[in-house]
Amino acid sequence: MADQKKLVAEITSMDEDFTQWYTDVCIKADLIAYSHIKGFMVIKPYGYALWENMRDILDRRFKATGVQNVYMPLLIPESLLQKEGELVNGFAPEVAWVTAGGTEPLTERLAVRPTSETVFSDFYKDDVHSYRDLPRLYNQWCSVVRWEKETRPFLRSREFLWQEGHTIHATREEAEQRTQQMLNVYADFLAEDMAIPTIKGQKTDKEKFAGAESTYTVEALMHDGRALQSGTSHFFGQKFSKAYDITFTDRNNTLQYVWQTSWGATTRMIGAMIMVHGDNRGLVIPPHVAPVQVDIIPIQQRKEGVLEAARHMADVLSGFRVKVDDSDKSPGFKFAEQEMRGIPLRIEIGPRDIEAGTCVLVRRDTLEKTETPISGIENTVAEILDTMQKQMLEKARNHMEDLTFEAKTTEDFYRHFQSGRHGFVKAMWCGDPACEEKIKADLGVTSRCIPFEQEQISGTCVCCGKPAKKMVYWANAY
Amino acid sequence: MADQKKLVAEITSMDEDFTQWYTDVCIKADLIAYSHIKGFMVIKPYGYALWENMRDILDRRFKATGVQNVYMPLLIPESLLQKEGELVNGFAPEVAWVTAGGTEPLTERLAVRPTSETVFSDFYKDDVHSYRDLPRLYNQWCSVVRWEKETRPFLRSREFLWQEGHTIHATREEAEQRTQQMLNVYADFLAEDMAIPTIKGQKTDKEKFAGAESTYTVEALMHDGRALQSGTSHFFGQKFSKAYDITFTDRNNTLQYVWQTSWGATTRMIGAMIMVHGDNRGLVIPPHVAPVQVDIIPIQQRKEGVLEAARHMADVLSGFRVKVDDSDKSPGFKFAEQEMRGIPLRIEIGPRDIEAGTCVLVRRDTLEKTETPISGIENTVAEILDTMQKQMLEKARNHMEDLTFEAKTTEDFYRHFQSGRHGFVKAMWCGDPACEEKIKADLGVTSRCIPFEQEQISGTCVCCGKPAKKMVYWANAY
């Protein structure tokens, strides 16, 4: 057990310093390494396998709604980027510029894509002519670059992996519906596969995406009570189609501008997963996306028959992502490693177990131990993983509910955040961005969203006291 | 049939102008669109679905050999790129440089990765300490940018998609073995999945990768008799490990430099597929990688029961990638589209077929028609696709063999290429790069590889007449 304690001791306690705990887990669980290029990280095999699982599930969910994958150019000419003014203003401070190709300077600077609305718009122009060509439902998996000042693994980095969906439609209604549909895909994926509950709602004008008519978001709450925007879906109306001249002939043979959406989710979701489920022993990964679901650890593995039994069990469990840890480390060290890496289920099997025809199962989330017969193990494992997946969501939902408060008055609202408490605070808002700005300046708190499920907390704005228009979720956010 | 002829007429005949035929097929088969950014293309849904299938199969083949996926930074500081002199000299004319992040100029230029040996090397340094950490078998799927002057879809573009594998090992033998192993993975994938036969061999010093000790290649022959390098695998020895100080402690507790490899294959393979299998009706895609394997085309689809029968058949064939073309185009137009897109198998089903309990199958490669019972169709389709996959390889192999020649003398060699003939020419070489340069200057012909399977064509170099060291495959190449 000395080994185990040592490895665990290598990460800071989350209660002591949550930020340091987060970074420690990213590194010690082998998800990433810092590169020698500021703001850029290396995603290591374990982190990338996790991303692959997330990508594959999300990709299937997209395709089930008719979305098709494409690939668009990485570099965007400045003139193309500038056609839609709001977008370029929003991204200008964050763009990395290519100014030379080989030994020659370029006549026009090229942006490394920070997002691809402009390139898609440029493409649509030739891609669509008639209402028969609509809708177009495109998506790409790629990396983007945004020149952030402060960076943290997964949460904010100068390059990150994401998917960006881009669609165009014949009518406003259809485009608006698609915006909501894809938000629901994110919410369902986060809940069902990542075990992360979210609040669905609309961003205020101040917080919406540059160039969007409206932005919808799924907001999650981390273990420390701070919020994390975990996926966004944008309705652009006809802004881009007018700026880039994307028209089609409708059923009445009239020329119309298309209606446009985009929606994106990133490796940030890995950050959310770490901060929602992790504990002082490290990561806890939901079974659906875990690179390894079952870690079989032989006890006294040099004794006759032990390794064979462990390997036989792995064969029986081949329907799961399973590994046998037959390295020459001590069982205690292996336990600690499995816990650090958040592998959902550990199976301990030693000479005495084999004799008794049993083994010991340990769930990563609850650390609960069960002795169970080896015979029929595949059904037991299936049930436990299924239960674990559901209970992780329940636990996270309870945590979010426990940390969701209401503030009827300005005093209540300020007292909550000034006392150093976090969590979501539901409070009314008059609709004026000036109030959001004041709250941010005073408390560092931002409006996370105007939730679809509105409640009447009070009659007046929590900032200025004027009549309220909407209930808003407020929080400190990552 | 008028519609069909019209669509087919839209592509240039391959016998008339092979280059134009190629471009026409890329566009008309809906694989790509030109973007408005010179040298950058848009990979459209059909082209990307093809790439996804190729990627998934290759990825499984890599993982079966123990390879793990990772993700490395897109941007590389100039100083890091310069540590290994040969590599940077090789790529310097082709690098796109980022010089500003947001509104501020950078203190050091960053290269958009043209290849990632340097970033991996920088990472290995902290990743590996002991022989227990070796080997490391990494791969990444990403895009790279190389500032090419002349560009053509898939064959040569300023940005392309690829995978780059990077491995490090404790011994020279193990690294050399891995170089060969991955070359074999490419050759097997190309033969078994892409139905493209290749010649395996070593590049001459003149043609090898910048910084490599040796480069191995798989060379394919296109329909027009020109060669295409379709995958390469490099052995670096200790060049990078010495330049980047990548050391480990061996079993005897001695500090050693690691031995290194890299290997890559790109969307170029799609270009190879088009030019090996395509014909005057368009693409022909091998079943293993085809986005759609079976295209069911209802005849007289408005007649009662026809669409139902077609859809029922699609259900029965759900184990394949199948589509029902129920659009309101004419059957002739649908046939032409299916042929243009290279969908391996067409099933025609109309009222008379349904009554007779039969349908008509048409193979895309041979255009052979078979009437077959609807009952048991899933077995018939499985057999035909399997046969087609194998026969496409055979046909391509026969074509390559028919276009493989021997030249014993300088006169024979020069006469072959000066007469405008293409194909592989096997001829002896003294080992002097000056002879390669002379042949290239005189004929535009390059040494494709020193094949592993050597033959003794003659005793003297086909260029200078001095005693020969190796048999080389020569060709005009893309």
Q: In this predicted structure, which of A2-16, A245-259, B30-44, B64-78 has the lowest mean pLDDT?
A: A2-16
Is the pLDDT at B2 greater than 50? The verdict is: no
Angle at B322 between CA B317 and CA B324, to 5 degrees: 105
pLDDT band at B1; cut points 50, 70, 90: very low
Interface of B with A in 53-92 (CB under 8 A): 68-77, 80, 92
Q: What pLDDT, in 10s, does the model give residues A122-142?
A: 999 999 999 999 999 999 999
Instruction: Report the distance separating Cα A209 and Cα B329, nearest Å.
Output: 41
Q: In this predicted structure, which of A33-47, A189-203, B82-96, B108-122 has the lowest mean pLDDT?
A: B82-96
Contacts A–B by Cβ distance under 8 A: 155
- What's the average model confidence in pLDDT over A414-438? 97
Instruction: Report the distance separating Cα B428 and Cα B407, nearest Å.
Output: 8
Contact call for A99 and B94, based on CB within 8 A: no
Is the pLDDT at B344 greater than 80? The verdict is: yes
Closest CA to A35 of A163, A162, A158, A161: A158
Contact call for A70 and B44, based on CB within 8 A: yes
- What's the average model confidence in pLDDT over B316-345? 97
Contact call for A122 and B45, based on CB within 8 A: no
- In this prediction, residue B413 carries a pLDDT of 98
Instruction: Report the distance separating Cα A121 and Cα A379, nearest Å.
Output: 50
- What's the average model confidence in pLDDT over A8-37? 93
Instruction: Report the distance separating Cα B336 and Cα B468, nearest Å.
Output: 52
For testing contact with chain B, the best of A42, A109, A162 (most B CBs within 10 A): A42
Contact call for B48 and A36, based on CB within 8 A: no
For residue A29, give both structure tokens. 């669980």
Instruction: Report the distance separating Cα A278 and Cα A81, nearest Å.
Output: 40
- In this prediction, residue B3 carries a pLDDT of 47
Q: What pLDDT, in 10s, does the model give residues B399-424?
A: 999 999 999 999 999 999 999 999 99
- What's the average model confidence in pLDDT over B147-152? 92
- What's the average model confidence in pLDDT over A172-199? 98
- In this prediction, residue A146 carries a pLDDT of 96
Nearest CA in chain A to B110: A98
CA distance A106 to chain B (A): 10
Nearest CA in chain A to B94: A102
Which chain A residues are Cβ-neighbours of B99 within 8 angstroms? 97-100
Instruction: Report the distance separating Cα A233 and Cα A166, nearest Å.
Output: 10
Which chain B residues are Cβ-neighbours of A137 within 8 angstroms? none
Task: Decide: helix, strand or coil at residue B466.
Answer: coil
- What's the average model confidence in pLDDT over A429-453? 98
- What's the average model confidence in pLDDT over A322-341? 96
Q: What are phi and psi of B311, to 5 degrees?
A: -70, -35
Cis omega (within 30 of 0) on the bond before B433?
Answer: no
Closest CA to A346 of A335, A355, A357: A335
B161–A contact, CB cutoff 8 A: yes
Is the pLDDT at A344 greater than 60? The verdict is: yes
HEC profile for chain A? CHHHHHHHHCCCCCCCCHHHHHHHHHHHCCCEEECCCCCCEEECHHHHHHHHHHHHHHHHHHHCCCCEECECCCEEEHHHHCCCHHHHHHHHHHCEEEEEECCEEEEEEEEECCCCHHHHHHHHHHHCCEHHHCCEEEEEEEEEECCCCCCECCCECCEEEEEEEEEEECCHHHHHHHHHHHHHHHHHHHHHCCCCCCEEEECCCCCCCCCCCEEEEEEEECCCCCEEEEEEEEEEECHHHHHCCCEEECCCCCEEECEEEEEEEECHHHHHHHHHHCECCECCCCHHHCCCCEEEEECCCCCCCHHHHHHHHHHHCCCCCEEECCCCCCHHHHHHHHHHCCCCEEEEECHHHHHHCEEEEEECCCCCEEEEECCCHHHHHHHHHHHHHHHHHHHHHHHHHHCEEECCCHHHHHHHHHCCCCCEEEEEECCCHHHHHHHHHHHCCEEEEEECCCCCCCCECCCCCCECCEEEEEECEC
Interface of B with A in 410-449 (CB under 8 A): none
Task: Decide: helix, strand or coil at residue B275.
Answer: helix
pLDDT band at A89; cut points 50, 70, 90: confident
Closest CA to B477 of B227, B161, B147: B227
pLDDT band at A9; cut points 50, 70, 90: low
Contact call for A80 and B36, based on CB within 8 A: yes
Q: What pLDDT, in 10s, does the model give residues A264-318?
A: 999 999 999 999 999 999 999 999 999 999 999 999 999 999 999 999 999 999 9
Interface of B with A in 258-287 (CB under 8 A): none
- What's the average model confidence in pLDDT over B233-239? 97
Is residue B116 within 8 Å of A42, Cβ to Cβ? no
Q: Indicate if ipTM > 0.90.
A: yes
- In this prediction, residue A68 carries a pLDDT of 98
- In this prediction, residue B13 carries a pLDDT of 96
pLDDT band at A6; cut points 50, 70, 90: low
CB count, 10 Å around CB of A438?
13
- What's the average model confidence in pLDDT over A94-114? 95
**DSSP classification of residue B186:** H
- In this prediction, residue B365 carries a pLDDT of 98
Q: What are phi and psi of A173, to 5 degrees?
A: -60, -45
Is the pLDDT at B302 greater than 60? The verdict is: yes
Q: What pLDDT, in 10s, does the model give residues A354-371?
A: 999 999 999 999 999 999
Contact call for A98 and B112, based on CB within 8 A: yes
Contact call for A93 and B103, based on CB within 8 A: yes
- What's the average model confidence in pLDDT over A412-423? 96
Is residue A321 within 8 Å of A291, Cβ to Cβ? yes
Q: What are phi and psi of A34, to 5 degrees?
A: -70, 140
- In this prediction, residue A91 carries a pLDDT of 86
- In this prediction, residue A2 carries a pLDDT of 46
A97–B contact, CB cutoff 8 A: yes
- In this prediction, residue B7 carries a pLDDT of 57
pLDDT band at B103; cut points 50, 70, 90: confident
Which chain B residues are Cβ-neighbours of A92 within 8 angstroms? 102-103
- In this prediction, residue B404 carries a pLDDT of 98
Q: What pLDDT, in 10s, does the model give residues B13-36?
A: 999 999 999 999 999 999 999 998
Instruction: Report the distance separating Cα B73 and Cα A34, nearest Å.
Output: 10
- In this prediction, residue A131 carries a pLDDT of 97
Is the pLDDT at A16 greater than 50? The verdict is: yes
Interface of A with B in 373-412 (CB under 8 A): none
A8–B contact, CB cutoff 8 A: no
A110–B contact, CB cutoff 8 A: yes
Instruction: Report the distance separating Cα A160 and Cα A156, nearest Å.
Output: 8
- What's the average model confidence in pLDDT over B138-164? 96
Q: In this predicted structure, which of A298-307, A469-478, B88-97, B345-354 has the lowest mean pLDDT?
A: B88-97
With a CB cutoff of 8 Å and minimum separation 6, the contacts of B477 are: B226, B227, B228, B229, B446, B448
Which chain B residues are Cβ-neighbours of A114 within 8 angstroms? none
Of chain A, the end-to-end C-alpha distance in Å amounts to 36
Is the pLDDT at B4 greater than 80? The verdict is: no
Q: How high is the mean pLDDT of chain A?
A: 96
- What's the average model confidence in pLDDT over A427-436? 98
Q: What is the pTM of this model?
A: 0.96
CB count, 10 Å around CB of A352?
11
Q: What pLDDT, in 10s, does the model give residues B358-395?
A: 999 999 999 999 999 999 999 999 999 999 999 999 99
- What's the average model confidence in pLDDT over A82-97? 87
- What's the average model confidence in pLDDT over A27-34? 97
pLDDT band at B90; cut points 50, 70, 90: confident
Contact call for B71 and A95, based on CB within 8 A: no
Is the pLDDT at B244 greater than 90? The verdict is: yes
Nearest CA in chain A to B34: A123
pLDDT band at A30; cut points 50, 70, 90: very high
